[in-house]
A and B are shown apart, each in its own frame.
Chain A
Amino acid sequence: MSQFTQQVILGLLLGGVYVAVALGFSLVWGILNIVNLAHGALVIVGSYITWDLFTRWHIDPFLSLPIDALVLFVIGYALQRGVINRVIRAPLLFTFLLTFGINLIIVSLLLLIFTADFRSVTPSYSGNGLHLGSVTIPYIRFGGLVVAFLLAGALWAILNRTRIGAAILAVGADRDAAQLVGIDLRHMYALTFGIGAAFAGVAGGIISTFQSITPTAGDPYTLQAFAVVILGGLGRVSATVLGGLTFGLIEILGQSAPGLGSGYANAIAFVVLVIVLVVRPRGLLGRLA
């Protein structure tokens, strides 16, 4: 039984990571209607920044998260403003191909800069955890979950409590009407993508604390972010949170099923994805009918 409790806790902790990864992805998809295939690569850029700061100046990984966010925001803003804006009204196949191209470029550049070696961030407390009876909660993973909830709260607050958020939602609802009331569309697109990238960067920082990173480590996260958004439903922060936690649980419990193992993470994600798409295409909490 405690084995099961442990699995559930690990699942929720992993779910927190997926929430963090999927928030930015969901924002960009919902507002800009871009399925950003470079999202995983942006996540890993965040991981490398955290790793670099940690190995070079011994900055605690959790303290470097704001730096990840800032750097990734600038990268994301520039990418959208300079490149993706040019195809924003093109059919989806084009944004798809374009973001895949960006993904290839980022991954290759990371490969050139950091080589394909496994890199890990190991602060002094990385092995420690809270012991509750026979159940263990690793501090690092718990920290990740807390950060994920902070991110979700921040995104909710940005969208619902600020003028910029209102403008972003307006662009998502009807870009022509938004333009008519004086919103600078190009700037808003770039801002939205920048925020999405910043969130990806923070997620990457979290990931670097518990997983060895390589330039290609981000690719699975793109698919998983997609699965989370499909599972939860598009267009709500709460849906992404629910989708992420559920997905983490499914993955951990699925992997502990007899005959399966950690090598099947993507396959499990995919099966969940297809079942949800076919049975309940709007997701668990989707409000768009």
Chain B
Amino acid sequence: MIAREERVPRSLRRFAVPIGIALLAYVILVPLTSTDTAQQAGLPLLADKLWFRIATTVAMFVVMASAWNIIGGLTGYASFGNVAFFGLGAYTVGVLVSSRGWPFPLALILAPVTASLFALIVGIPLLRLRGHYFAVATLGIGVAVGELVNNLGPLGASTGLFLPIVRSDLLFFYLMLVAAAVAVLSTWLILRTRFGYGLLAIRENEEAAKIIGVNTNLYKVAAFCIAAALTGLAGGIFAQWNSFINQENVFAISDNVQMILMAVVGGAGTVLGPVAGAISLELIIQTLAGGGSKAVYSQIGLGVLLAVCVIFIPRGVIDFFGGQSRLSLQYLRQTLRETSA
């Protein structure tokens, strides 16, 4: 799967690098031209508020899709509960800033710590499960943690938490961009280490990986914690950026499905796949949402998009999951046997 990048024709690659650099330069520099100071200096305005919001959201989903990719794509454990880490990161920042009066940067450092601690606690029992069982158990985490937060008074219960508003689109855009860079870089680094090879081995055949000496439990939990830390970081930034968090906006299961879809459509198990998936899908979703006024239609759009992607382009993404596609009682038996191990 990593080898796929090398299959791109040389001529295309020659164009890809400068285009990529140009895009990156645009993304990093254009925001600078839209601030008030730039306006006063008479520089042309190249982007507006909405652009910031969308770009920041895209960067946020790049973080989440890349983080999901580490546990779902590289390790082969399809987690449907990563959104719990996002929510925990957001609530860490939310509680520390709004109730304890901590400065935002200090609180932000703790967001990934809380998320990965939680991943450590739930990961040890849950990563023994596989297939449907792991998927739904993690789905349960997302729902249950959200519900817990919704019921706890100190966490604002169902009212949610309000943070002091920080008016700086630039700051949050760059923060998310840095988080996205960290996420992509982490994936790239992991794939070049012994740890990364261990994760790929677990994905391909966990028993065989164990036999050749991979400490599978440690590796899986570590991958889960790294994914959680990155997702928690994004959540922490989101909390201050949005300045209001509640169960609905930080524990949304549909966010979790979106990050999976982005990683899968872009190419799970690759470094840049989740990035491509996040950018293209988020832009489509934003377009469907029409600026966020018609939430229902964007939900229908997402549903149709899911169906279309799954039905019509599974060949492009299916091969990584490989030979597990024969669904029979035999397979069920095997899954059950594996989960009881």
Contacts and interface: CB of A to CB of B under 8 A. Distances in A.
* A and B are interacting partners: yes
Interface of A: 29-30, 32-33, 35, 83, 86-94, 96-98, 100-105, 107-109, 111-112, 172-176, 219-220, 223, 226-227, 230, 234, 261, 263-267, 269-271, 273-274, 277-278, 281-282, 286, 288-289
12 contacts: A33-B328, A86-B311, A91-B318, A92-B78, A101-B303, A104-B306, A108-B297, A223-B139, A266-B144, A267-B147, A267-B148, A278-B129
Interface range for B = 35 or more
Query: Mostly helix, strand, loop or mixed at chain B's interface?
Result: helix
B68 to A, nearest CB: 11
Contacts of B299: 104-105, 107-108
Given A174-B328, A281-B336, A289-B337, A93 B303 contact: no
Interface of B: 78, 80, 125-126, 128-129, 131-133, 135-137, 139-141, 143-144, 147-148, 150-151, 253-254, 257, 260-261, 264, 296-297, 299-300, 302-307, 309-311, 314, 318, 321, 324-333, 336-337, 339-340
Nearest to A96: B135
Contacts of B151: 261, 263-264
Given A261-B151, A288-B333, A91 B144 contact: no
Given A33-B331, A87-B311, A277-B339, A93 B321 contact: yes
A104 B300 contact: yes
Contact of B133 (A32, A112, A175, A281): A281
B300 A92 contact: no
Contacts of A277: 126, 129, 133, 137, 339
Contacts of B147: 263-267
A3 B303 CA distance: 46
Contact of B325 (A90, A267, A286): A90
B314 A173 contact: no
B308 to A, nearest CB: 9
B310 A91 contact: no
Contacts of A289: 333, 336-337
